[in-house]
Structure 1
Amino acid sequence: MKHFMPEVSVIIPAYNSSRYIAEALDSVFEQTFKDFEVIVVDDGSTDDTRRIIENYPHQIKYFYQENGGPAKARNLGIRKSEGKYIAFLDADDLWLASKLEKQVAEFEKNPELGMVITENCLFDDAGVYRDVVGKSNYLMHGDLVTNIFLKSGVVTPTVMVRRDVFGEIGLFEETLRIGEDDNMWIRIAFHYPVGFVDEPLAKIRDHQMRTMRVNQNYAVYTRASVEMLLNKYDRRLGDKIRKLVPRKFYQGNFGIGYRHFEQEEYAEARKAFREALKYDRWHLKAYAYILMTMVPKRIIRFLRTAKRKLLPGVGGPKWTR
């Protein structure tokens, strides 16, 4: 019997994802493009993730591994996949129905592309709170490698990669539990042209566990990824980003401080803003926020409310992953 290879392999790492994974899978099987396989890699879940997948009404390739992090899970999925293109989805996020169709069309139009990304929206339990994040301006305008390194913002569920790219540049770095995705996108963007579909075809869920994971472990894994980018891969890539490293650490720590500030965790915010100033002590914005954390909460709330009414859409760092 002839074996038919799927055009696209959809890879979904899952760790204790029972609350959201059925909704994520529904968004895959509602795609207008139908020539795909779905691979779920259970990264050592202890909840009902496996039961939900086994009872799901569509065919899924399920693999279990001891908890090793998202990079290891995605790598296992890549190794088990058969598609010409690899699309990534996280178990708590969603796709719009035309996502795969439009990304495959972009690859067919430009076969030299290494990856294609899309715009995305942001949502939480109350619904969509940002329709677009503005990638055409902050990410795709200018040098893409520099922009990913400094601003992150590709967002893994928006990505589709040509399969043979991984054979050329390698798989995800499994020792990285945070930033393993940006590490990969930087390497791809350095070696290949990148396509962009300027439509919000992925919905990225904002919830507390995601924010906590980033805040608690940012420094360790960011330093490890930067060290790899400087010294492990193509020397020209290391030379390109070396001068950007202080700015990277300033922006990362400022972003953590801003998220703490938004959650009224002012002691943690001050700590992060002070850490940011180690990398750029002349940046007045961090000083301003440190002073703000010492103001009574009721005054801060009033000022934030007034700012949002007077300057809608203007604020701190974009929430991205």
Structure 2
Amino acid sequence: MKDKFLVSILINNYNYGHFVSEAIDSVLSQTYPNVEIIVVDDGSTDDSHEIIKAYHDNIIPIFKENGGQASAFNFGFAQSKGDIICFLDADDVFLPEKVEQIVGCFEKHQEIGWCFHPLTYVTQDLSKYGETINHTGVSGVYDVRPHINRGKLRNYIPFKGTVTSGLCFSRNLLQKILPMPEEIRITSDDYLKYAAFGLSPGFILLNDLALQRIHGNNAYTMRKDRENLRSKIEILTAYHLRKNIPSIAKFSHNIFAMGLSKYQKLNSNNDDHKHLIEKYFVGLLLMEKIEIYLRSLYYRIKFR
């Protein structure tokens, strides 16, 4: 594999001192040599600082005040120089040939702006996790812009659950997406992938090229009590996608309707949620508002 592309690996860390060294080591062990490793510590209060500093010149450390995942993404990308950017959560690890395979996709398909792949679930000690995901479809170039512009994405992407450690972008595309709104403090990967779907064709690589830990401190994955949190994330993500990428407004409306349906189902009086909902409806046509309410009703019935 040629190493003409510089690949930036952005590792975002918050209080994962017991995991972050394995994440860094997994990047240092890549079969593709031309990488820079940027570790953004988002105001950790554990021993993360000492562990990160111990890598000296092997990495580029960034220590900042706590601002959330989106803030870490923005800081890391601003310091990067790579032609290709890959994200890695500090509690996950890359498999050795991950970067080599990603570079191969970008080299062969120069029209793409993103390359996404699934992950293998593992336990805290990297043993096989009980739940697995079977992928259907084929690896290849996917251009879902016509579908997402019409507000639909379901069944056009061959696997679900793309998360941070499976996201890779060309620098040219990511410059159009970042900096992203920093109030999306967790699961910021939703904003990145939906924005990418709306702006560029990309490559779905159906190889599990990283391991995703499932453990007690995961902010979101596998949580059973996540409806309220998911509602806020969907509403926030929809609001900023509609604002920043108007061409996918219909898709943003669908995401918002899903968040609204969860909010209605919970019968919540959360002021933050109500304020976000009011902000979203500002400037919409009456027919758009009616369509959103009807769709939210549909989701409430479908998922009750």
Instruction: Please give the TM-score of this superposition, normalised by the length of structure 1.
Output: 0.70
Contact 2:187–2:220 under 8 Å retained in 1: no
1:100 corresponding residue in structure 2: 99
Separation of aligned partners in 1, 2:81 and 2:142 = 33
Letter in 1 for 2:240: M
2:128 corresponding residue in structure 1: 128
- Relative to structure 1, the CA distance from residue 31 to residue 17 in structure 2 (aligned partners, 3 Å threshold; closer, same or farther) is same
CA RMSD of aligned residues (A): 3.4
SS in structure 1 at match of 2:257: helix
Aligned residue among 250, 257, 261 for 1:239: 250
Provide, for residues 259-285 of structure 1, a one-character-per-residue CA deviation record: whole Å limited to 9, x for no partner. Answer: xxxxxxxxxxxxxxxxxx9653533x6
Provide, for residues 47-77 of structure 1, a one-character-per-residue CA deviation record: whole Å limited to 9, x for no partner. Answer: 1101111223761111111000111111111
2:62 corresponding residue in structure 1: 63
- Relative to structure 1, the CA distance from residue 13 to residue 149 in structure 2 (aligned partners, 3 Å threshold; closer, same or farther) is farther
Structure 1 position 115, deviation (Å) = 0.7
1:35 corresponding residue in structure 2: 34
Instruction: Please give the TM-score of this superposition, normalised by the length of structure 2.
Output: 0.74
Provide, for residues 157-182 of structure 1, a one-character-per-residue CA deviation record: whole Å limited to 9, x for no partner. Answer: 11111011122343232110123211
User: Where in structure 2 are the equivalents of 1:143-222 lying within 5 Å?
Assistant: 143=144, 145=148, 146-147=153-154, 153-211=161-219, 215=226, 217-222=229-234
Provide, for residues 4-51 of structure 1, a one-character-per-residue CA deviation record: whole Å limited to 9, x for no partner. Answer: 997101111111111101111111111100100101111001111011
Contact 2:10–2:73 under 8 Å retained in 1: yes
Higher relative contact order structure (alpha carbons within 8 Å, sequence separation ≥ 6): 2
Provide, for residues 121-177 of structure 1, a one-character-per-residue CA deviation record: whole Å limited to 9, x for no partner. Answer: 11113622245452648xx99957424999962211111110111223432321101
SS in structure 2 at match of 1:105: helix
- Unpaired runs of at least 5, structure 1: 255-276, 287-321
| Identity value in percent | 29
The size of the alignment, in residue pairs, is: 258
SS in structure 2 at match of 1:119: coil
Higher share of residues assigned helix: 1
Separation of aligned partners in 2, 1:149 and 1:76 = 32
- Unpaired runs of at least 5, structure 2: 266-295
Separation of aligned partners in 1, 2:118 and 2:220 = 24
Could you say which structure has the larger radius of gyration? Answer: 1
Structure 1 position 218, deviation (Å) = 2.4
